[in-house]
Amino acid sequence: MTNEEKFRKSLADLTRLTGLPFRIDEDAVEDYEAAAERLSALVTTMRERSSRSVFLRRFLTGELTEREIYDGAASFHIAQEERRLLYVVEVSRGDLDMALTILKQLFLTRSHDMAVQVGTAHVALIRTVSDREKEKDYEKTARTIVDMLNTEAMIPARVAFSGVTKDLAELPSVYREARYALEIGRIFYMNETVMRFSHLGLGRLIYELPPEVCRLFLKEVFGERPPEQFDEETQATIDTFFDNNLNISETARQLYVHRNTLVYRLEKIHQATGLDIRLFEDAMTFKIASMLHGYLKERGE
């Protein structure tokens, strides 16, 4: 294909993409090779901007005007009013392409469902849901996503999901909420793989606090020297004790240690921190202080 033919092909492609009838002045073209290269680059850019994936990505991240959203939805046959649930799946950068492929294979069996990469570590999955489905079904799907990515491709993943939306225009808002939930989960609930914006609990409250308030509380609890990071055994003891609602017998059973051994460990924590986490009030104070300490560390404060 000659440079002139390449130029004319790109011009025809541009006309199809934009719907505008472009014409050229033959005498004005001095270098068909350079003109063909520039026009080809323009066509590539236009094609990318006009793709469904780019529309969804820019839509969810709030880059489009109301008119652009309306035009794009009409162009890609996306219904304005439909019951939808949005999942945001977080994986490592190197696993993103594989995760997107698996999610499409698993969930894009219905024409109205959509999945798109957003940024360098997230995939947004938009699913249509019936009014018969309940919150437990939404959470079950989120856990299925985590389990399938892990078993199919050994990809560690975390998932946040929204409430049900009834209008397309609501999706950017719930996308921001899901990303917010993942951020809070990463700081305060490291062992959790499924998050929901409406169930963030104490983590959401702490996340909204000014750092100076957090530091003041820590100083009040621990004085000038907050305790250093506990060793792995002690941290496992604390986590299991809280997971079992301060139940010594059940904690000892799950840790495979004698009850007296567990009491000895808890007493060491009491001596190191001044807080006896066998007592509810001290346990609550310790939990909040630990979350505040982790929050400040994440912020680099």
Torsion angle in degrees (nearest 10) through CA of 220, 239, 138, 51: 70
Predicted pLDDT of residue 294: 84
Same domain, 228 and 168: no
Residue 283 has pLDDT above 60, yes or no: yes
In whole angstroms, what separates CA 65 from the centre of its chain?
24
Residue 285's pLDDT band (boundaries 50, 70, 90)?
very high
- Residue 115 to residues 103, 175, 286: CA-CA distances in angstroms? 8, 13, 41
Which residue range is the domain that position 182 belongs to?
Answer: 78-201
Last residue of a domain, one of 171, 201, 231: 201
Of 19-28, 66-75, 112-121, 232-241, the poorest mean pLDDT is in 19-28
The whole-angstrom separation of Cα 200 and Cα 44 is: 43
Q: Which CATH number is 262's domain given?
A: 1.10.10.2840
More confident residue, 246 or 10: 246
Q: Which CATH number is 134's domain given?
A: 3.30.70.270
Percent of the chain past pLDDT 90, that is, above it, reads 43
The whole-angstrom separation of Cα 128 and Cα 111 is: 10
Same domain, 243 and 196: no
Same domain, 88 and 193: yes
More confident residue, 164 or 16: 164
Same domain, 128 and 106: yes
DSSP annotation of 299 reads: H
Same domain, 182 and 230: no
In whole angstroms, what separates CA 162 from the centre of its chain?
11
Residue 251's pLDDT band (boundaries 50, 70, 90)?
very high
Mean pLDDT for the stretch of residues 74-90: 91
Q: What is this structure's pTM?
A: 0.73
Residue 79 has pLDDT above 80, yes or no: yes
Mean pLDDT for the stretch of residues 181-185: 93
CB 85 within 8 A of CB 57: no
For the chain, what is the domain count?
Answer: 3
Neighbours of 19 (CB within 10 A): 6
DSSP annotation of 101 reads: H
Residue 226's pLDDT band (boundaries 50, 70, 90)?
low
Mean pLDDT for the stretch of residues 186-196: 90
Mean pLDDT score of the chain: 86
Residue 166's pLDDT band (boundaries 50, 70, 90)?
very high
CB 146 within 8 A of CB 158: yes
Predicted pLDDT of residue 41: 73
The whole-angstrom separation of Cα 198 and Cα 161 is: 10
Predicted pLDDT of residue 27: 63
Per residue in 13-63, pLDDT (tens digit) is 766 655 556 666 666 666 767 777 777 777 666 565 558 888 899 999 999
Residue 127 located in a structural domain: yes
Of 42-51, 59-68, 108-117, 253-262, the poorest mean pLDDT is in 42-51
Mean pLDDT for the stretch of residues 166-195: 92
Q: Judging by beta carbons within 10 Å of its beta carbon (0-12, 13-18, 19+), is residue 115 exposed, middle or buried?
A: buried
The whole-angstrom separation of Cα 167 and Cα 112 is: 14
Residue 228 tokens, joined: 């250093």
Same domain, 130 and 225: no
Residue 156's pLDDT band (boundaries 50, 70, 90)?
very high
Same domain, 109 and 177: yes
CB 55 within 8 A of CB 116: no
The whole-angstrom separation of Cα 203 and Cα 188 is: 6
Percent of the chain past pLDDT 70, that is, above it, reads 88
Predicted pLDDT of residue 29: 64
The whole-angstrom separation of Cα 293 and Cα 300 is: 11
- Residue 209 to residues 112, 167, 205, 299: CA-CA distances in angstroms? 40, 33, 7, 12
Same domain, 89 and 170: yes
Mean pLDDT for the stretch of residues 273-282: 92
- Residue 241 to residues 98, 118, 192, 276, 285: CA-CA distances in angstroms? 38, 38, 17, 12, 15
H or E stretch including 100? Answer: helix 96-107
Residue 128 tokens, joined: 């249509």
Predicted pLDDT of residue 278: 94
